[in-house]
């Protein structure tokens, strides 16, 4: 007869209660069945575990040694069950998200704020990176999701879901406001100093391809480490550059920067959620995905 986990569970409660009868009540079982199981356990192990008396039971030296092991294992199992239950109820857990700058400011911050309000026990870890590096981190299993802006390459088993479409505008500081007085072509701007997020980023690749398709050189005079740095550098007159319209709108409205009207149409880009379809998703991952994929304004209320 093979020893089962249930025998050790019964042994644990009998040792705790010092009584077969009390253990049977705790386990919602009957006393004869509890006694039978402990007799079987003693037979399998080849030693006595309990000393029976009219006052109950006590552990033999062998029973004491076994109890120390079983109690430690049972406590670990109990803690594991509690952790899983908390994770499933979104009272705890950890989520790691690799995110590009544009994606962070255009949609992710707002959605993460709503997620944190609803599930404050879930620990969020953000890795701000270029689009290619965020996708590489996902492929290597270092993050649970990537939220990035197009263009990108997402080979299988990675799966992409569009979250938001956005447009970028060309802007300049007040020092170059003459460029904003009439429509200009990209060719007219060949001699201007361009500011852009550095090479290796999705934004850099997007504009390099845009200029190349028009047989124009894309010469970046100043590379910014992050999207956050582009707007201040343009405001200070260091050059001109493209910026998401939503991010540039307050500075345009205040007159800190000017929008340069272009003859060419600049294609819109998408912020996308990238996930690894080959990996199982935790309850917290599914909850965050549902919130990210919900239209703006939906699913944003706090949990009652």
Please say if the pLDDT value at position 58 is more than 60. yes
Alpha carbon distance 131, 201 (integer Å): 6
Please say if the pLDDT value at position 92 is more than 70. no
Alpha carbon distance 134, 275 (integer Å): 11
Alpha carbon distance 273, 291 (integer Å): 11
Angle (deg, nearest 10), helices 61-88 and 5-17: 110
Query: H-type helices in the chain, by residue range?
Result: 5-17, 20-26, 31-45, 61-88, 101-103, 109-118, 131-139, 202-213, 227-235, 245-254, 283-293
Q: Which domains does the chain have, with CATH numbers?
A: 5-88 (1.10.10.10), 94-165+270-293 (3.40.190.10), 168-267 (3.40.190.10)
Higher per-residue pLDDT: 62 or 228? 62
214 confidence band (pLDDT: 50, 70, 90):
very high
Q: Which residues contact 296 (CB under 8 A, 6 or more apart)?
A: 107, 110
22-41 pLDDT, tens per residue? 999 999 999 999 999 999 99
With tokens 């953000």, the residue in question is 126
pLDDT at position 149, please?
A: 93
Higher per-residue pLDDT: 90 or 220? 220
Residue by residue, DSSP assigns 90-159 as TSS-EEEEEE-HHHIIIIIHHHHHHHHHH-TTSEEEEEE--HHHHHHHHHTTS-SEEEEESS----TTEE
Alpha carbon distance 145, 284 (integer Å): 12
Q: Which residues contact 237 (CB under 8 A, 6 or more apart)?
A: 173, 174, 175, 176
Alpha carbon distance 118, 86 (integer Å): 14
171-207 pLDDT, tens per residue? 999 999 899 999 999 999 988 999 999 888 889 999 9
Q: Are 241 and 170 in contact (CB under 8 A)?
A: yes
- Alpha carbon 148 to chain centroid distance? 13
Residue percentage of the chain with pLDDT more than 70:
92
Please say if the pLDDT value at position 303 is more than 70. no
Paired sense of beta strands 241-244 and 168-172, if any? antiparallel
Please say if the pLDDT value at position 64 is more than 80. yes
Q: Model pTM?
A: 0.67
pLDDT at position 228, please?
A: 84
């Amino acid at each position: 007869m093979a020893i089962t986990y249930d025998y050790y569970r019964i042994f644990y409660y009998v040792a705790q209660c010092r009584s077969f009868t009390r253990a049977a009540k705790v386990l919602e079982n009957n006393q004869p069945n509890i006694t039978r199981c402990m007799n079987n356990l003693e037979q399998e192990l080849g030693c006595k575990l309990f000393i029976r008396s009219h006052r109950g039971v006590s552990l033999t030296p062998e029973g004491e040694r076994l109890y120390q092991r079983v109690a430690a294992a049972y406590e670990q199992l109990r803690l594991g069950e509690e952790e899983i239950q908390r994770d499933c109820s979104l009272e705890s857990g950890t989520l790691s998200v690799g995110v590009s700058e544009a994606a962070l400011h255009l949609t992710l911050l707002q959605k993460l704020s709503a997620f944190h309000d609803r599930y404050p026990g879930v620990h969020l870890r953000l890795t701000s990176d270029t689009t290619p590096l965020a996708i590489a981190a996902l492929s290597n299993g270092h993050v649970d999701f990537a939220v990035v802006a197009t263009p990108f390459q997402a080979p299988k088993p990675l799966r992409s879901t569009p979250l938001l479409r956005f447009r970028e505008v060309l802007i300049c500081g007040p020092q170059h406001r003459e460029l904003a007085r009439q429509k200009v072509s990209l060719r007219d701007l060949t001699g201007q100093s361009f500011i852009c997020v550095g090479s290796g980023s999705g934004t850099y690749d997007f504009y390099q391809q845009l200029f190349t398709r028009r047989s124009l050189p894309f010469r970046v005079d100043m590379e910014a480490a992050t999207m956050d740095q582009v707007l201040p550098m343009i405001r200070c007159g260091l050059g001109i550059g493209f910026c998401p319209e939503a991010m540039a709108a307050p500075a345009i409205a205040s007159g800190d920067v000017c929008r340069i009207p272009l003859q060419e149409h600049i294609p819109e880009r998408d912020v996308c959620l990238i996930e690894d379809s080959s990996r199982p998703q935790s309850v917290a991952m599914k909850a965050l995905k549902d919130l990210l994929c919900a239209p703006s304004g939906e699913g944003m209320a706090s949990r009652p």
